[in-house]
Amino acid sequence: MGEVRKLQKKLRQIENLEIKISLSPEEKFKISRKAELRSRLAELQLQLSGPQQTLGIVGDGNKEKMKRQVEDALEALPSQTPPASKILKGEMESRAQAAPAARQRVARRDAAEPDRLQDGPEPAKVSHQSGDESGGCPDRDTEQLLRQEEAEFTSLKASWEKARFRLRLLEGHNDIITSVVAVDNLVVSGSRDTTVKVWHVPTATEQKNLGGHTGGVTCLSAPPLEHCRKLARSLFLSDKERFILSGSADCHVKIWALSVGQCVKSIYTFNAVTALCFVPEGDGYIITGSDGGKLQAWNWLTFQNCQSVNAHQEAVTSIQTQGPLVFSGSAEGGVSVWENRCSDRDPLRLLHHWSSQVTGLGGGRLTLSPRGDRVFLAYGRAWLQILQWRTGVISRVTNHSSVAGVTDCVHQTGGLLIGSSYDLANGESTLNLFSLPRCRYLASLTWPNAPRILCFAAWTTGSGDHRWVTGGRDLIVWEQLPSSGKQRGDVTVRRDSRIDSCLLESEGDTEDDEETDDDEDNLDEGDDLGAEDGGSGSWLRCVLQ
């Protein structure tokens, strides 16, 4: 079992090495051993697996312990209650058999979480057998609502199980794609080959190649149309002009006019830019994060630096906005929440900072996606972390059936939470779909020889169908096919029983796993891969080389 864990760590480190632009002969040799290590790991898993072992679960002691905890929890439930997932702390699902006092607590909780009400009611699992036996009969309105919610979720799940997508490969980059954004019928991609490319989605063709960075492009952002018009007027360009922001390891942020394919402004930040976003408040602000943990704000129209603050101890790996709020995450696992005060001097005011001791993260590239009072965090492990950013309460969503799974990015679109999942043991890549706001598992999407997904963007067509773009080794456009058509899709839709049986876990449920992950990338001195290749710092240095 110890050898299984060591092999998993080696494979994790090899995957981090593979994203480097330049490799030494020693590093190339380590990468060449990936197939050999995977073969050995598969052999050990087969030996350790038994007839009662859950499919896809690595048979090490830690994972077996998790499995026993789930089974014990299910046995402790009343016999009338159907198998239930672990419940997210503070967001326990209302059940038809709940006592009146419990229903009152649920009502108070919902009133305190307006972000959940914006999405309307989300389905909850209901046991219709136990209402009378529990000593109280729920009122008819509550029971009817729960039945309706369950029916809606069942219908949504069934529709995704039948979903079909056509995949189209966009060829042109010669290195890993680090960031993607969608603008109208265009996809814009940035790569560590130093270029930004513009693609016409309907024809899947390269429209423009924006060269100008001298270092790898690490991040992109698309300002909204209203702010594009403001800048276009100041530059005497058409009101229909759209702009794209790109950040690079060359310490520059460039603003590109898409129609002409030219850089209209270049901002030198004095630091390698590792993350950026656009804040559409007031005249607009560009927020950049650096490899040293610095956060900077720049006026959208004057491009003057409004603020520089040492926000994090290590590289800023993700910046996202929600109204006037700015969320930043870093490689050491810290998450900060800022309020934009729309001023020309120091516009960002720190509201909350949660260190890695609170988030339990670290040792990877953290990406985040805010939603109301919650922030979904992906950081290179087998689950998605959920941070209640006002209180610091931590929970998680299972996003892989094996501890060898890696979550690289998380995204929200159209009532869906989408997490990428990559299996270090066999190289299999999937997208896992969850319904919002309760994060109930819907389905997993994959296709033959799917590469690791490092970035994601999404939009919907006029008919309401989904269009996605994923980046990593390959740049791929996903186009949802009409349900009434006969065209065969390129994507396999399946359900992972392990994810389905352990959806939402409270902070207390994660402790055993966290202990094993604390030293995930620290191998013994005698290990042939060496500890110097693991950890968050080396991962980010790989990105910036």
Q: Which two tokens stand for residue 429?
A: 């890549």
Mean pLDDT for all residues in the chain:
78
Q: Exposed (0-12), middle (13-18) or buried (19+): which is 123, by Cβ within 10 Å?
A: buried
Q: What is the pLDDT of residue 231?
A: 94
Q: Which two tokens stand for residue 229?
A: 């018009």
- 432-455 pLDDT, tens digit per residue, is 999 999 899 999 999 988 999 999
Q: What is the pLDDT of residue 44?
A: 75
pLDDT over 50 (residue 109): no
The domains of the chain are located at 2-71+513-544
Burial 66-82, CB ≥16 within 10 A → b, else e: bbeebeeeeeeeeeebe
CB 220 within 8 A of CB 210: no
- 163-201 pLDDT, tens digit per residue, is 999 999 999 999 999 999 999 889 999 999 999 999 999
Give mean pLDDT, residues 519-534: 39
Q: What is the pLDDT of residue 128?
A: 37
Q: What is the pLDDT of residue 505?
A: 61
Give mean pLDDT, residues 316-341: 95
CB 250 within 8 A of CB 214: yes
Look at residue 167 and give its three-state secondary structure. strand
pLDDT over 50 (residue 75): no
Q: Give the range among 78-82, 337-341, 413-417, 541-545 with minimum mean pLDDT.
A: 78-82
pTM: 0.75
Q: What is the pLDDT of residue 514?
A: 40
pLDDT over 90 (residue 17): no
Who has greater pLDDT, 77 or 140?
140
Give mean pLDDT, residues 254-283: 95
User: Which amino acid is it at 160?
Assistant: W
pLDDT over 50 (residue 60): no
Quote the radius of gyration of the chain (alpha carbons, Å). Answer: 24
Q: How far apart are CA 479 and CA 489, in angstroms?
A: 10
Residue 86 phi, psi dihedral angles, 5° rounding: -65, 145
CB 414 within 8 A of CB 436: no
Who has greater pLDDT, 421 or 98?
421
Give mean pLDDT, residues 484-511: 73
pLDDT over 90 (residue 64): no
